[in-house]
Amino acid sequence: MALFSGLSEKLNHIFSKLTGRGRLTELEIKQAMREIRIALLEADVNFTVVKDFIGKVSERAVGAEILESLTPGQQVVKLVHEELVSLMGGANAKLEVADKPPTIVMMCGLQGAGKTTMCGKLGAMLKKQGKKPLLAACDIYRPAAIKQLQIVGKNAQVEVFERGTDKPVKTASAAIKEAERMGYDTVIIDTAGRLHIDEELMAELDEIKRAVKPKEILLTVDAMAGQDALTAADAFNKRLDITGVILSKLDGDTRGGAALSVRAVTGKPVKFCGIGEKLGDIEPFHPDRIAKRILGMGDVLTLIEKAESAVSEAELERLEKRLRENTFTLDDYLLQFESLKKMGNIGDLLGMMPGMGNMKISDKDIDEKQILRMKAIIQSMTKRERSHPEIIKASHRRRIAAGSGTQVQDVNRLLNQFEQTKQLMKNMRGGKGFPGMRRGFR
């Protein structure tokens, strides 16, 4: 599911009525603002946030620059994009690092928000960046909470420090001493959550905060919880003065209200977002990129970053050489599909492509079983056929189809797609592809 699909679809429908006109009247702009207001409210964006947002956009949109523009519709879209970016905080807010290690990150949140899993995701991301994180198990109340963190830590290959049912403040302090002794540069403290905010919980969190003096206090908020998420965020912030927010389950939120409102409600930036269940499904929160996704403009930079993390520099250089020498084979093609699987959900990836944001992409359109089918077809070919697909005649195609449990038309389709992909990658290598590609296809 693409991020903010419901809101994105409604906004693009509104903009389609504006961009097709040569001139816009003040009345037409006001009507569009009313429709945008309704779309944002239906997306569960906070009422006060919507009111302020529409006020700012309207004030700028009825100016002479828009009304007299030759492309007024595009100018309105530009204004909405700029105000969405501003609403979500402007620039990406990076994780603060202590002058003297370890950097202490205190994680908090209500039960069910995904806080413990997010501890593992954050630890895995930091480790990938060359850090040496340590997870501290300070949730002694929820059954199996410590065990859950240990499992998450093991999967993330990040060490977990625990002291059983000792007081959380003692465990947190001991974890920091252990980090100093063993050379860990980051301590991520998994604190206890509650089903509802209560004084006992807040008092314990406040005690931990005063004892360990964390550099970051990050609140994990369930992006699907809507207004309840904002209420919780406001309460945690007033008591703990949080430094930032992590939005979990953003991939399952078709509305997006929490993502658009939490910065305005708390005054604190969203620093990361969870976009799936896997440990690698965590991204820095970039307001500009998120705004572009909402408006169907794509998100090429994130797409490139995902590609770079999934494919090594050596593999990109080898691929570039094969394209240059015209020796790109079906084996290479198969490797690209394997890399694509590492990058995440295919529907989300297509949603990041410019021009694809307005398309409705259903699970039927993107059947990941098709990748397995392609793999079976390629593996049913001889080594020479994979290297020289031009030699594959009708009789060969019947044999390959039978060997892979597919139809001849499936084989034909794969070979056609291979040739098209090969040409596309040649064009990208020649400088006709995505702007801003930092490596590969040079």
What's the pLDDT at 296? 72
What is the set of domains in the chain, with CATH numbers? 5-87 (1.20.120.140), 103-294 (3.40.50.300), 300-432 (1.10.260.30)
Q: How far apart are CA 170 and CA 199, in angstroms?
A: 20
* Token pair in block for residue 95: 């994780």
What integer pLDDT is reported at residue 359 of this predicted model? 46
pLDDT at 258: 80
- Spatial CB neighbours of 121, under 8 Å, sequence gap ≥ 6: 156, 274, 279, 280, 281, 282
Helix, strand, or coil (residue 149): helix
DSSP string, 24-57: --HHHHHHHHHHHHHHHHHTT--HHHHHHHHHHH
Tokens of 105: 């990150």
Residue 112: per-residue pLDDT = 83
pLDDT in the model for residue 329: 86
**Cβ 204 vs Cβ 232: under 8 Å:** no
- pLDDT (tens digit per residue) in 51-68: 999 999 998 887 766 766
Return the beta strands (E) in 8-144 as ranges.
103-108, 133-138
State the amino acid at position 404 in one-letter form: S
Rounded to whole angstroms, the Cα distance separating 77 from 75 reads: 5
* Per-residue confidence (pLDDT) for residue 2, from 0 to 100: 54
- DSSP strand pairing (133-138 vs 244-248): unpaired
Cα gap 56→75, rounded to integer Å: 14
Using an 8 Å Cβ cutoff, are 120 and 153 in contact?
yes
Express as a percent the part of the chain with pLDDT over 70. 79
List C-alpha distances in Å: 20 to 13, 24, 72, 80, 292: 11, 10, 10, 17, 20
Helix/strand/coil (H, E, C) string of 284-342? ECCHHHHHHHHCCCCCHHHHHHHHHHHCCHHHHHHHHHHHHCCCCCHHHHHHHHHHHHH
The tokens for 304 are: 């490139």
Per-residue pLDDT of the chain in tens (442 residues, 90 and over written 9) = 456 778 888 888 888 888 766 777 888 889 999 999 999 998 888 899 999 999 999 988 877 667 666 677 788 888 898 999 999 988 889 999 999 999 999 999 988 888 999 999 999 999 999 999 999 999 998 888 999 999 999 999 999 999 998 999 999 999 999 999 999 999 999 999 877 778 888 899 999 999 999 999 999 998 887 777 888 889 899 999 999 999 988 876 556 788 888 998 899 999 999 888 888 889 899 898 888 878 876 555 555 566 666 566 676 677 667 767 777 888 888 777 666 666 665 556 555 555 544 444 444 444 567 778 888 999 999 999 998 899 999 999 999 999 999 999 999 988 988 887 777 666 655 543 433 333 333 3
